[in-house]
């Protein structure tokens, strides 16, 4: 028995999110999820059902380049580094395994995670290229990055994030510890990077949509802080679409230090 931690990427376009969903009787086809596809491959390799635990769920359409997940392998005969080619040859190409390493028996990809980093990609050009469409939010204007970063600087420390919580979020506490939030340009794309110990459901998309909407209205850090402190969902702006969102990395070693 070994506990194996995977680092993986996926193109969220054709998935109904991360979490395995058992198909209802009324459905003829099972719902396609990242966890479901990987568990199918792990079952094939191990010849028995294997349960995979991710660092967290991602929604339908959300991508990942550094998702992590662990599983208990009942067999010791497969060298750990052989999981990468073995799984990649069986997985659909919209999921790729990048690392596999043995971790201590009680390690949990979810509960041992110290922080998660997301990046949100925004196209500022008049029309994004067709092949970029599934991976950006197209806003067709160039916001003032200084104003955005002034607002984003409010997103530091222990914060009650109720303003940015989906009404369907069932977390008992809406407080999260935010390490960093800032914007930068990558070519023609505006990128928002945010790191926290954990996130509420749709929180990154709600924050991103609010920041962009507020900047467009001529609001600044003062108005953003007021919305944040209001703990009132109706004070938030639009929820940015899932297409632009990437789970970028999950950290297990102390607080992630940013450049």
List interacting residues with a copy of itself (CB under 8 A): 8-11, 63-65, 84, 88, 93-98, 126-131, 133-135
Q: Taking the complex as a whole, how short is the minimal distance between the CB of residue 94 and a copy of itself, in angstroms?
A: 5
Closest to a copy of itself by CB, 129 vs 217, is 129
Spatial contact of 55 and 34, defined as CB atoms under 8 Å apart: no
CB of 61 to a copy of itself, least distance (A): 12
Q: DSSP string spanning 172-204?
A: S--EEEEEEEEEEEETTEEEEEEEES---TTHH
Residue with smaller CB distance to a copy of itself, 9 or 149: 9
Q: Which two tokens stand for residue 131?
A: 């092949």
The H-assigned helical ranges of 16-144 are 34-46, 83-90
Least Å distance, CB 63 to a copy of itself, is: 5
* Nearer residue to a copy of itself within complex by CB, 128 or 209: 128
The least distance separating a copy of itself from the CB of residue 212, rounded to whole angstroms, comes to 20
Query: DSSP label at 214?
Result: H
User: Could you give the residue numbers annotated as active site?
Assistant: 59
By beta-carbon proximity to a copy of itself, the closer residue of 116 and 176 is: 116
Which residues have C-beta within 8 Å of that of residue 57, sequence separation ≥ 6? Answer: 17, 18, 19
């Amino acid at each position: 028995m070994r506990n194996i931690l995977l680092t993986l990427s996926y193109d969220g376009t054709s998935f109904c999110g991360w979490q395995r969903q058992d198909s209802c009787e009324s459905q003829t086809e099972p719902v396609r999820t990242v966890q479901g596809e990987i568990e199918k491959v792990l079952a094939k390799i191990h010849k028995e059902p294997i349960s995979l635990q991710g660092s967290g769920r991602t929604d339908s359409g959300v991508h990942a380049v550094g998702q992590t997940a662990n599983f208990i392998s009942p067999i010791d005969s497969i060298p750990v580094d052989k999981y990468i080619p073995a799984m990649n040859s069986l997985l659909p190409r919209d999921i790729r395994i990048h690392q596999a390493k043995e971790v201590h028996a009680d390690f949990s990809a979810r509960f041992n995670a110290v922080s998660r980093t997301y990046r949100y990609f925004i196209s500022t050009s008049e029309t994004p290229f067709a092949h970029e469409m599934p991976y950006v939010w197209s806003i067709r204007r160039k916001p003032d990055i200084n104003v955005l970063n002034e607002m984003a600087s409010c997103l530091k420390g222990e914060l009650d994030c109720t303003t940015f919580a989906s009404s369907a979020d069932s977390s008992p506490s809406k407080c999260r510890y935010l390490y960093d939030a800032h914007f930068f340009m990558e070519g023609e794309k505006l990128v928002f990077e945010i790191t926290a110990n954990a996130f509420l459901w749709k929180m990154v998309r709600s924050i991103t949509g609010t920041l962009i909407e507020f900047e467009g209205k001529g609001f600044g850090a003062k108005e953003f802080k007021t919305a944040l402190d209001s703990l009132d969902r109706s004070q938030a702006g639009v929820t940015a679409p899932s297409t632009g969102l990437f789970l970028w990395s999950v950290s297990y070693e102390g607080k992630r230090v940013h450049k």
